[in-house]
Each structure stands twice: as C-alpha cells, then as structure tokens.
Amino acid sequence: MKLQGMKHVALVASPHAHAKIVSIDTREALKVPGVIAVITGEDIARGTKPLRQYLDIPGVHWRPLAYEETRYAGEWVAAVLADDRYIAEDAAELVRVEYEPLPFVIDPEEAMKPDAPLVHSAHSCNIMWQRKFVWGDVEGDFRASPYKVKARYRWNRNSTVPLETFGVVAKWDEGNQILDVWASIQMPQYAEQISSALDIPLNGVRVHYDVDVGGSYGVKRGIKHTVLTGYLARRYGVPVRFIEDRLENMRAGDMHGPDRIFDVEVAFNEEGIIRSLPLKRVLK
C-alpha cells in the first residue's frame, strides 16, 4: 500500500521485564530531519480508550504503548512517526528512556503465590481469572473406577512465525469522519475493537479485507498496532503505515503462546474406558 503523503512508524521497546518509566526524553529524536512526531504511552492514555480484554479485571488496562510501567521485555514505550521507516528507526534510537527496574516473575506457578511480585500493582494478585467447568458426576466416577492415573504436562511458552509479519495502513478522512484501514488480518470484531479504542462510531471504521494475510496461525491480531496507527493518522492528518520487522513481531507482536501447565487425573475401568478426566490448567 502506497498512499500519497504516507508516513511510517518505528518503535522504542523496553529492555526490562518490569520497570517504572521515570522519564522519556524525545528532544534529540525530534531534531532528526523527516521526523513528524514522537508519542508516548501518556499520549495514548489521553487520546484513546483501553483496548478490550473481554474479562472484568479491575485496575488492568491494555494499551498500544506502555503507560507508567512496562510489564514485559520488548513492550513498546514510544513510537516515532517519520517520512520513511529508515528515518523513524534512526530517530527511535535517539529516544532516551529512564527506567526504574521493578521485581518481576516469569514462572506461572511462582506468579500465583501470595508473595509474588505483582505484574499489575492495581490488582491484588496475579491471578486474573478463575473458572471451574464440570460435566457429569466426576467424583462418583472416581469412586467407582478401579484404576486411576495422574500426570503433569507442561506446554512451554512458544512463538508462532507467520510467513509475513503484521502490517497495517490507516488513513483518516476528516471530512467524512471515517478511518480507512488496510491490514493483514482475518479476525472477527476487528473493526469493533478499533472503534471502541479510538472512540469512533462503528460505521466510521472501514476495514479493507482485500489484502493478503501472509499467514496467521490464529494469532495475527494486530489490535494495538492498528489502534496506534489509527491514532497517529487521525491526530496528524496523514496516512500512516506500520509494518512489523521480524524482531518486533517476535518480542512484542501479539504472537506469543502462553506457558501452560496441566495436572490431569484419569479414572478408567478394566476395559480401558475413561469415565472422568479432571484437569487443572494454569496459564501464564
């Protein structure tokens, strides 16, 4: 996609697993010829609504750029808008961020302990959601079954690698109050999430689905990429293009699979027929 007057985005990422953002100095980056703007999480927090997360988690907000704290290595803390990607990347290296490292936790079972470092300080613990599903008489089946087996399985964190990284182009039509979006996307409720975060009526978001997806494997969502790009396009009145490079995709591009731990018990009879299968699942 090449639109007239189109600008490009590069990102500044946190090197810390968890840190307080003390200050962000953008002065040197803004002096680079061809740089239009440098925005931070504070700009995004003022100009957009938190992204949807579909769970009621008090005090937890998801945004395209980190605000006040970074919570994983690679999280975006600033974005540079410039005439081309090369200028934007050069300017991004000149953004100076002062961090105050905070305690962090990586192992999901350690994170569940009462004294674990909090990922979100506004939430009382790291357990964000719990639910129990029961089908049938599990306890009765276990009492009646002569044989039982117990096992633990771990499916470690993983990263999908699409054929092409996520790409998005956004153009704001001030006269018609419409945001046009072209993206390598195939997910439902994409336009709805853009509308919600940018506070635009749903009929003011026009998604063009006639572009190549370039591989997905179920995780090429690009919501934060799109909201960031749409915000820049509307604020600065220019078409904006953001194409992840492979490093951006691997470390912070929404393509991580969670660390899964399964504690499984199986109750079965002499014929090997399984009657019940309780499963405790921990996700990170």
pLDDT in 10s for each residue of the chain, 284 residues: 899 999 999 999 999 999 999 999 999 999 999 999 999 999 999 999 999 887 888 788 999 999 999 999 999 999 999 999 999 999 999 999 999 999 999 888 899 999 999 999 888 889 888 888 888 898 899 999 999 999 999 888 888 888 888 999 999 999 999 999 999 988 889 999 999 999 999 999 999 987 888 877 667 789 999 999 999 999 999 999 999 998 888 888 777 777 888 889 999 999 999 988 887 665 65
Domains 7-104+166-251 and 131-157+258-284 share a fold: no
What are the residue boundaries of the structural domains of the chain, listed by start?
Answer: 7-104+166-251, 131-157+258-284
Task: Give the orientation angle of helix 190-198 with respect to helix 223-236, to 10 degrees.
Answer: 50
Burial of 6 (0-12, 13-18, 19+ CB in 10 A): middle
pTM: 0.91
* CA pair distance 26, 74, nearest whole angstrom: 19
CA-atom Rg of the chain in angstroms: 23
Q: How many CA atoms lie within 13 A of 77 on its CB side?
A: 29
* Helix, coil or strand: residue 250: helix
The highest-level CATH class for domain 7-104+166-251 is alpha beta
Can you read off the two tokens belonging to residue 80?
């540079």
* Fold of the CATH domain 131-157+258-284: Aldehyde Oxidoreductase; domain 4 (3.30.365)
Distances from the Cα of 74 to the Cα of 7, 31, 79, 279, angstroms: 23, 25, 13, 33
